[in-house]
Structure 1
Amino acid sequence: MEYDNFKKVKQVLWIILFANIGVALIKIVIGTAIKSASMTADGFHSISDGASNIVGLIGINIASKPNDKEHPYGHKKFEVVASMFIGGMLLFIAGKIIFNSISRFTNSVEPSITTESLIALIITLIINILVCAYENRIGKKLNSYILVSDSMHTRSDIFVSIGVLFTLVGVKLGLPDIIDPIASLVVSGFIIYSAYEIFKSSTGILVDQATVDEEKIREIISGFKDVKGVHNIRSRGSENDIHVDMHVLVDPHRNVEESHILAHEIESMIKTKINQSAQVIVHIEPYYDKDKNYFELK
């Protein structure tokens, strides 16, 4: 990701941060006033959205630093480390909500629900939908891992808010008070699942999980008539920081300059077909009919 993209990501995170803080304060204040555990829990979930924006800003600041002697591949994985920290915060918040919900089963409190509180929840729900759509669209446009991940987190908040809304309406219509702490447990389930998604995607990047299908690389390579075979195809990284390397076999009598040009053509085609920010390394090897320890292109 270029420096300008990092700058734009920071601007988006600042905008989303203020939106999330506003939504969280509305939910917590109203949830406390009407004694609704589910709405208050939803408010703390919204705080986690704001906290994730702060961690994202810190991660982006570090990730945007240029390559140096100690980090020859750059600092981009700090963005992933920041995401792991967000996942940890979500688990902590989920645990707190579960503890409070369990205590509400033995100390039931009837929520005092007003039309105004329902309207406020609907307004915050609309804000979350707009925030999620905006962040996801910009994240894909800028190819930003943390923006897309954060928008998924906000999306879970939307489903949680919808659940809380139906719960409050149910209590207002006469359903038993116990539905409120039950809804809080459902809220915590959404938060735990959000944490799981963050850990799953982040861990894959940190352990260098393959990011590009080998068959797709072979399909691209097969378009070059001067390439006789390809093997040792590897890929790693994240969507905005893909690294691909492979061994390509060519006529052993091909000179160095021609092989060099071919390697650059392969690199350019992979960037065009997969991702312009991809970093590609092509290792050229001589092709001999007797050596079949590779994938031969027809």
Structure 2
Amino acid sequence: MNRFKAAYLAIVVSMFLVVFKVFVGTATNSISIISDALHSSMDVIASTITLVAMKLAKKPEDKCHNYGHGKYEDLAAVIQSVLILIISVTIISQATLRIVNGNLITETFPGIIVMLVSITLHSMTVFIMLKYAKKENSVALKANALHLLADVITSIGVIVGLVVIQFTGLRIIDPIVAIIVALIIIKTGYDIGKESIEQLLDKSLSSEEMSIIKEILEEHSPPVLDYHYLRTRRIGQTRQVDVHLIFPNDYSLTDAHDVSSSIEKDIHQRITSVRITIHLEPENHYHPYRVEVE
């Protein structure tokens, strides 16, 4: 299996759960189950968007996109966060109306069953998606997996509510649980959107990756006298690293190129999917200050 098959799996599982939850939620008049079904319907849309984005991101560089199309994955993750916000507001609105109108749940046992099925299927799907998101550095697939993980958490919340209703008879707990579920979903959407927007705005690589890069640069000193204008960012699955290296005035261009190639090789060995651009400068052209974008 690869990340594309993992995305297809998420779509199939979510479609099945939408039908299952709508049927049981309607039969039992449970707003918490129906709200979870609405969330699952968004999962179908989100997973489809993820799949399309991954296919677009895989397109090679072209005349108009010199760095490739990797940011389609970040864009897909942002769209997912917006969808999450929309469905959360809808859930809160519907749950509030149920409380006001007194239109509450009638049966709990079928809902407990459907939530257990949902948790089981989504947990397996999330595990598979996170595995391949990490393996293939897919931002969109990771966002989609976290979206489904929110489903697991909210389904657990719905079960807890249904069990409490089963033993206490307090049917108003159902819409209250739905509102709590929506608030949890909003937090998940915020986290997904924040990370994705940062990637779209070319946030630098993680502090761990930056430390690795700096460590490798310092390991090649001498002959590298210093470095400056170190810049990094992520473009989909690819990490971009740019840096200016300072060499002695009498150091040959051939030798400087060999050192640069060695630095590139060392970075490639410790950081996956990285593209490196190195600018060579002689010592007498170097201004005595360091400019780093981190």
TM-score (structure 1 length as normaliser): 0.91
- 1:147 and 2:144 aligned: no
TM-score (structure 2 length as normaliser): 0.92
Aligned CA RMSD, in angstroms, stands at: 2.0
Please give the secondary structure, in 2, of the residue aligned with 1:293. coil
Q: Return the offset for 1:212.
A: 3.9
Choose which of 105, 111, 117 in structure 2 pairs with 1:117: 111
- 1:178 and 2:175 aligned: no
- 1:62 and 2:56 aligned: yes
Deviations 1:199-220 (A, max 9, x none): 1011101111111434432211
Find the aligned partners of 2:128 and 2:120 in 1 and give their Cα distance: 12
Please give the secondary structure, in 2, of the residue aligned with 1:226. coil
Choose which of 267, 271, 277 in structure 2 pairs with 1:270: 267
Q: Return the offset for 1:250.
A: 1.4
Look up the match of 2:88. 94
Q: Return the offset for 1:109.
A: 2.6
CA pair 129-115 structure 1, distance change in 2 beyond 3 A = same
- 1:218 and 2:210 aligned: no
Q: Return the offset for 1:9.
A: 2.3
Find the aligned partners of 2:285 and 2:201 in 1 and give their Cα distance: 36
Find the aligned partners of 2:205 and 2:88 in 1 and give their Cα distance: 31
Residues 72 and 236 of structure 2 are in contact (CA less than 8 Å); yes or no, is this contact kept in structure 1?
no
- 1:207 and 2:204 aligned: no
Look up the match of 1:258. 255
Instruction: Write out aligned runs for 1:274-285 (5 A).
Output: 274-275=271-272, 277-285=273-281
Look up the match of 2:282. 286
Q: Which range is displaced more, 279-288 or 36-45?
A: 279-288
Please give the secondary structure, in 1, of the residue aligned with 2:219. coil
Look up the match of 2:192. 198
Please give the secondary structure, in 1, of the residue aligned with 2:62. coil
Partner amino acid for 1:184?
A
Partner amino acid for 1:261?
D
Q: Which runs of 5+ in 2 are unaligned?
A: none
Choose which of 7, 14, 19 in structure 2 pairs with 1:13: 7
Choose which of 28, 32, 36 in structure 2 pairs with 1:34: 28
CA pair 286-243 structure 1, distance change in 2 beyond 3 A = same
Deviations 1:65-122 (A, max 9, x none): 1111111111111121122112221111111111111111111233222534322321
Find the aligned partners of 2:76 and 2:159 in 1 and give their Cα distance: 31
Q: Which runs of 5+ in 1 are unaligned?
A: 1-6
Partner amino acid for 2:276?
V
Look up the match of 1:247. 244
Find the aligned partners of 2:206 and 2:187 in 1 and give their Cα distance: 26
Look up the match of 1:4. none
Find the aligned partners of 1:119 and 1:198 in 2 and give their Cα distance: 29
Partner amino acid for 2:274?
A
Find the aligned partners of 2:6 and 2:41 in 1 and give their Cα distance: 17
Residues 259 and 284 of structure 1 are in contact (CA less than 8 Å); yes or no, is this contact kept in structure 2?
yes
Q: Return the offset for 1:289.
A: 11
Look up the match of 1:230. 227
Partner amino acid for 2:234?
G
Look up the match of 1:105. 99
Residues 34 and 113 of structure 1 are in contact (CA less than 8 Å); yes or no, is this contact kept in structure 2?
yes
Partner amino acid for 1:229?
D
Find the aligned partners of 1:141 and 1:18 in 2 and give their Cα distance: 22
Say how many residue pairs are matched: 288
